Amino acid sequence: MCHKLSAEEVLHLYLKIQDRDLLLVAYSSSDVFVIQWPPFLLSSKIAIALDMAKHYKKEDDSKLFKKIMNDSYMSSAVVECYETLKDIIYNLLLDEEDNM
């Protein structure tokens, strides 16, 4: 069975593929100096890392750090969150200084 696609259908299909590819590509922002992945790829990794940290009761956190760093997506998610929060707090402090 042969099905001909109209120009509009081809364009729609092409745009859907491009959008999907953009979602999978990592990018870097000038504000945050780490490679940023689309949030849907890392969101579950943040929840897992937070849960691991919450339940970690030992004084030495090197094993927790090693577990997180062994999963490249989880380590990227943790570093990206840290860097983003650091940037937000830094900018809030700068704004507060400007208002004084």
Whether 14 maps to a domain, the answer reads no
Which pLDDT score, from 0 to 100, does residue 72 have?
A: 84
Whether 45 maps to a domain, the answer reads yes
Residue 70, pLDDT > 90, answer yes
Residue of 55, 54, 48, 56 lying closest to 75 (CA atoms): 48
d(CA 10, CA 25): 23
Domain count of the chain? 1
Instruction: Quote the domain boundaries for residue 87.
Output: 26-99
Token pair, residue 96, equals 């507060």
Q: Exposed (0-12), middle (13-18) or buried (19+): which is 28, by Cβ within 10 Å?
A: exposed
Whether 11 maps to a domain, the answer reads no
Whether 5 maps to a domain, the answer reads no
Whether 42 maps to a domain, the answer reads yes
Max mean pLDDT range (4-8, 16-20, 71-75): 71-75
With cut-offs at 50, 70 and 90, classify the pLDDT of residue 87.
confident
Which pLDDT score, from 0 to 100, does residue 30 have?
A: 57
Any residues with CB less than 8 A from the CB of 49 and at least 6 apart, and which? 68, 74, 77, 78
pTM score, whole prediction? 0.59
Over residues 70-97, mean pLDDT: 84
